[in-house]
Amino acid sequence: MCGIVGYVGDRPALDVVVDGLARLEYRGYDSAGVAVLAGGTIDSAKRAGKLANLRAALEERPLAEGTVGIGHTRWATHGAPTDVNAHPHLDCTGSVAVIHNGIIENFATLRRDLEERGHELLSETDTEAVAHLLEEEMPEAGGLAEAMRRVCRKLEGAFTLLAVDTADPGAVVAARRNSPLVVGRGDGENFLASDVAAFIAHTRDAVELGQDQVVELRRDSFTVTDFFGHPAAYNEYHVDWDASAAEKGGYDYFMLKEIAEQPQAVADTLLGRAGLDGTLALDEMRLSDEDLRDIDKIVIVACGTASHAGMIAKYAIEHWSRLPCEMELASEFRYRDPILDRQTLVIAISQSGETMDTLMAVRHAKEQGARLLSICNVNGSSIPRECDAVLYTHAGPEVAVASTKAFLTQLVAVYLVALYLAQVRGIKYTDEITAVISQLAAMPEKVEKVLDIVEPVREVARSLASEKCVLFLGRHVGFPVALEGALKLKELAYMHAEGFAAGELKHGPIALIEDGVPVVVVVPSPRGRSVLHNKIVSNIQEIRARGARTIVIAEEGDEAVVQYADTLIRIPDVPTLLQPLVSTVPLQVFACELATAKGHDVDQPRNLAKSVTVE
Ligand code: F6R
């Protein structure tokens, strides 16, 4: 939520900052703003709406030229997305400008006190209070960094803050608590951002800041302290992808590019996991085999699409490792007093590694003494840093708000974890594990094949653009796939869409079926557990008898479904548990095409943001 950029160097700061914001716009696009230090003053501009509105305003009135600047794209929390509420916010004297990601929970008290002391606050935001608090602290603190530390000690909640001060025109000062912030180290220039994507075109050398730290960024240096001014430790790393990975590469939308990248992402996530003797080697996981043998229960915590990966993980983990496994929505987890102990392994699945609900679930589990493993796509993000172990997915940067390639790589990661648990617990022989690994190794090609034959999905999607509602049915691992198909359609096409376990239909949802209602059915392989297949074929007949228009996703060679399908979408034959890797892809394409047919921007759906850093 909210994209933040800061720059100190010798290039025009405005260009660097606006370019960085363009790469971060997926984090929030309600409004955008920039501030540049120039000639002893702050020149700023901000506009409600997408970055394009700010760009237009800057063309009309270019800012003064300066080489130090900050910029922000907003996902509104306090106050509507208006010009006034857009960041940056200034203090009473106009000498300090602040941008902010997160929520300052005690802002109402801080604001009331500031107003009582005579400050005039112009916006409805929590952020503006920080600018005025800095103004108050500055005379005694003797500098922006110390003032920032003093202010942070008064703040409750989650925040990344960036500030500039006319009295120190060579610096940007930033602080973080429970919200992402990275430093980019250049040659004679340095960067700050909520995500490396903002500066990847300039440098791949990054510094990951710790919790409750303040950084003072200058052209040739950066200084990191805690909130009390003590020097603080940080972690330097090299980003292993380049700027082209974060660009559209000829596609109309990032989402289309990311769907197309799935075969490679799956292959990259599998790379180097199998040892020479056929055993799985997840060395980077940092949980010893001893620790894993000790585990007697697994709880998965995740949100949205990642929670659907978690539901599929439950099937794989219980089937392969024989450990009981539950999947919990991270936003509910800590409020119901879950039973956790040292023998519980909590697995947090998160693409961004910054989702606040999941982070809070991780912290709760840690307090209860559980062991913690994260499956994450963003190196050095908060969730893996707070877990005992991490398995990184190698999807590369996912920019479109709707998750696609990250989901498929999360599936690969959970399959690997399930097999690894089976291996260390001695539940499966090496040759059995090797057999599944080779099935997984064949998946990139199978996903590629789905992409090659997906045209009928596009056609049917376009034909449904004026429908009000689409239902999705599945059984076994096809049930979470149905939920995922419905979620994609809701978020991109703004349509009513529901996913159901096909067996639940007759317990209520079948009442929704009437003439012409489109129902997408994910059919399990007839070669696997035939009972599953037979049951869903009956379900298709039941809805068809009541007038449903059936869009059936079924394996090549499955002839039993042909007569009941108004539209038949073929997927390659794969083992039952692995089917989500291929059956999800047509549903992604379906939602993307239908939303595009309705004229929506699929990369930036309304009301959403990529990384949800508020609870
Ligand atoms: C939907 C989507 C979201 C995310 C959810 C969790 O397409 O992308 O539902 O899956 O917000 O995000 P992460 O995985 O970053 O924790």
Atom of ligand 1 nearest to the CA of 406: 14
Which residue, among 408, 400, 403, 593, has the nearest Cα to 495 in the 3D structure?
593
Distance CA 156, CA 129 (A): 12
Band (pLDDT 50/70/90 cuts) for residue 283 is low
Q: Is 612 in the pocket of ligand 1 (CB under 6 A)?
A: yes
Q: Give yes or no for residue 444 having a pLDDT over 80.
A: yes
Q: Which residues contact 482 (CB under 8 A, 6 or more apart)?
A: 472, 473, 474, 499, 500, 501, 520, 522
Q: Is 44 in the pocket of ligand 1 (CB under 6 A)?
A: no
534-586 pLDDT tens trace? 999 999 999 999 999 999 999 999 999 999 999 999 999 999 999 999 999 99
Atom of ligand 1 nearest to the CA of 358: 16
Q: How far is the CA of 350 from the centre of ligand 1 (A)?
A: 7
Q: Is the peptide bond before 88 cis (omega within 30 degrees of 0)?
A: yes
Q: Are 380 and 182 in contact (CB under 8 A)?
A: yes
Between strands 235-238 and 325-329, the pairing is unpaired
Q: Is 403 in the pocket of ligand 1 (CB under 6 A)?
A: yes
Band (pLDDT 50/70/90 cuts) for residue 123 is very high
> For the CA atoms of 80, 81, 84, 85, what is the dihedral angle to 10 degrees?
70
Q: Is 180 in the pocket of ligand 1 (CB under 6 A)?
A: no
Q: How far is the CA of 612 from the centre of ligand 1 (A)?
A: 8
139-181 pLDDT tens trace? 999 999 999 999 999 999 889 999 999 999 999 999 999 888 9
DSSP labels, 376-443: ESSTT-HHHHHSSEEEE-------SSS-SHHHHHHHHHHHHHHHHHHHHTT-S-HHHHHHHHHHHHTH
Q: How far is the CA of 307 from the centre of ligand 1 (A)?
A: 8
Q: What is the pLDDT of residue 158?
A: 86
Write down the CATH superfamily of domain 3-246: Aminohydrolase, N-terminal nucleophile (Ntn) domain (3.60.20.10)
- Token match 């010009």: residue? 83
36-52 pLDDT tens trace? 999 899 999 999 999 99
Ligand 1, atom 10: closest residue by C-alpha: 305
Q: How far is the CA of 145 from the centre of ligand 1 (A)?
A: 34
Please count the other Cβ atoms lying within 10 Å of the Cβ belonging to residue 271.
9
Write down the CATH superfamily of domain 254-441: Glucose-6-phosphate isomerase like protein; domain 1 (3.40.50.10490)
| Burial class of 102 by CB neighbour count within 10 A (0 to 12, 13 to 18, 19+) | buried
Q: How far is the CA of 453 from the centre of ligand 1 (A)?
A: 27
Ligand 1, atom 16: closest residue by C-alpha: 350
Domain 451-597, what fold? Rossmann fold (3.40.50)
Q: Give yes or no for residue 602 having a pLDDT over 90.
A: yes
Distance CA 378, CA 195 (A): 9
Which residue, among 436, 475, 461, 470, has the nearest Cα to 554 in the 3D structure?
475
Token pair in block for residue 549: 């228009």
Q: Is 588 in the pocket of ligand 1 (CB under 6 A)?
A: no
3-state secondary structure of 114: helix
Q: Is 304 in the pocket of ligand 1 (CB under 6 A)?
A: yes
**Probe target for ligand 1 pocket from 308, 383, 403, with the most ligand atoms within 8 Å of CB:** 403
Which residue, among 121, 130, 126, has the nearest Cα to 74 in the 3D structure?
126
Q: Is 358 in the pocket of ligand 1 (CB under 6 A)?
A: yes
Atom of ligand 1 nearest to the CA of 612: 11
**Probe target for ligand 1 pocket from 1, 259, 351, with the most ligand atoms within 8 Å of CB:** 351
The amino acid that residue 411 corresponds to is L
Strands (E), 489-572: 496-501, 518-522, 549-555, 567-571
466-513 pLDDT tens trace? 999 999 999 999 999 999 999 999 999 999 999 999 999 999 999 999
Q: Are 85 and 53 in contact (CB under 8 A)?
A: no
Q: Which residues contact 466 (CB under 8 A, 6 or more apart)?
A: none
- Token match 């400008």: residue? 97
Q: Is 569 in the pocket of ligand 1 (CB under 6 A)?
A: no
3-state secondary structure of 43: strand
Q: Which of 138-142, 297-301, 524-528 has the lowest mean pLDDT?
A: 524-528
Q: What is the pLDDT of residue 276?
A: 61
Q: How far is the CA of 154 from the centre of ligand 1 (A)?
A: 31
**How far is residue 333 CA from its own chain's centroid?**
19
Distance CA 306, CA 311 (A): 9
Q: Which of 2, 152, 303, 387 is catalytic?
A: 2
Sign, CA torsion 557/560/563/568: negative
Q: What is the pLDDT of residue 309?
A: 98
Same CATH fold, 451-597 and 254-441? Answer: yes
Q: Is 393 in the pocket of ligand 1 (CB under 6 A)?
A: no
Token pair in block for residue 588: 């992604």
Ligand 1, atom 9: closest residue by C-alpha: 304
Sign, CA torsion 439/344/157/386: negative
- In the chain, where the domains are located: 3-246, 254-441, 451-597
SS3 per residue for 295-336:
CCEEEEEECHHHHHHHHHHHHHHHHHHCCCEEEEEHHHHHHH
Q: What is the pLDDT of residue 284?
A: 66
Q: Which residues contact 214 (CB under 8 A, 6 or more apart)?
A: 145, 148, 149, 152, 173, 174, 175, 224, 225, 226, 227
Q: Which of 314, 405, 488, 610 is catalytic?
A: 610
Asked if 610 is an active-site residue, the reply is yes
3-state secondary structure of 124: coil
Q: What is the pLDDT of residue 379?
A: 81
Q: What is the pLDDT of residue 178?
A: 84
**Residue 554: beta bridge partners?**
570
Q: How far is the CA of 579 from the centre of ligand 1 (A)?
A: 21
Q: Are 399 and 254 in contact (CB under 8 A)?
A: yes
Q: Is 584 in the pocket of ligand 1 (CB under 6 A)?
A: no
Token pair in block for residue 197: 């994507």
| 86, 236, 324, 407, 607 from 80: Cα distances, Å | 9, 37, 45, 32, 12
Q: How far is the CA of 405 from the centre of ligand 1 (A)?
A: 12
Q: What is the pLDDT of residue 254?
A: 93
Distance CA 11, CA 403 (A): 35
**Probe target for ligand 1 pocket from 179, 378, 494, 612, with the most ligand atoms within 8 Å of CB:** 612
Q: Is 306 in the pocket of ligand 1 (CB under 6 A)?
A: yes
Q: Is 355 in the pocket of ligand 1 (CB under 6 A)?
A: yes
Q: Is 517 in the pocket of ligand 1 (CB under 6 A)?
A: no
Q: What is the pLDDT of residue 398?
A: 92
Q: How far is the CA of 306 from the centre of ligand 1 (A)?
A: 6
Rounded to an integer, the average pLDDT of 396-408 is: 94
Ligand 1, atom 11: closest residue by C-alpha: 304
Helices vs. strands in the chain: H and E counts, helices first: 19, 24
Q: Give yes or no for residue 527 having a pLDDT over 80.
A: yes
Rounded to an integer, the average pLDDT of 86-109 is: 94
Q: Is 382 in the pocket of ligand 1 (CB under 6 A)?
A: no
315-341 pLDDT tens trace? 999 999 999 999 999 999 989 889 999
Q: Quote the crossing angle between the two packed helices 144-152 and 127-141, to the nearest 10°.
A: 120
Q: What is the pLDDT of residue 388?
A: 92
Q: Give yes or no for residue 296 having a pLDDT over 70.
A: yes
Ligand 1, atom 7: closest residue by C-alpha: 402
Q: What is the pLDDT of residue 160?
A: 95
3-state secondary structure of 337: coil
The amino acid that residue 79 corresponds to is G
Asked if 257 is an active-site residue, the reply is no
Q: Is 303 in the pocket of ligand 1 (CB under 6 A)?
A: yes
Distance CA 155, CA 141 (A): 17
